[in-house]
Amino acid sequence: MTAVSSIHAQGDKLPPSRLWRVFWLQGVIPSNLLWAAALWALAQGRTPLLLAMFAALLLFTGWIISAVWRAAPSAQNPNYGIAARGLTVAWGLNTVLVVFFLMLQLLAQ
């Protein structure tokens, strides 16, 4: 029995862990909003805004990877912590690669 589960009766719903808040509320939702804004700027041809969004995405990605990594041990199931770390690193790698290739496309224009 863990410390978290020992204070709740059997069948009670546990409160969301810190990992849940960091992963979903600070990671997934803001990241998707940043990408939506970047893609809007790309579609509108607003290069200075797009470059600013790319910079924000890269900085945010570096921050969220470390935040999820630190919050992973707070997961109620250790497998969720491992999954969150893996998914966040994969998302970060995807972000870096997409920004890189979109920058190459911008430079070729």
Structure tokens that stand for 2 in this block: 């863990």
User: Could you please report the per-residue DSSP string of 79-104?
Assistant: HHHHHHHHHHHHHHHHHHHHHHHHHH
Contact 15, 4 (CB under 8 A): no
pTM strictly above 0.95 = no
- Amino acid occupying residue 107: L
Structure tokens that stand for 41 in this block: 């700027």
- Residue 6 pLDDT level (bands cut at 50, 70, 90): very low
How far apart are the C-alpha atoms of 106 and 109, rounded to whole Å? 5
Please list, residue by residue across 64-101, b when 16 or more beta carbons sit within 10 angstroms of its beta carbon and e when fewer do.
bbebbeebbeebeeeebbeebbeebeebbeebeeebee
Identify the three-state secondary structure at position 16.
Answer: coil
pLDDT digits (tens, 9 = 90+) for 38-84: 999 999 999 999 999 999 999 999 999 999 999 999 999 999 999 99
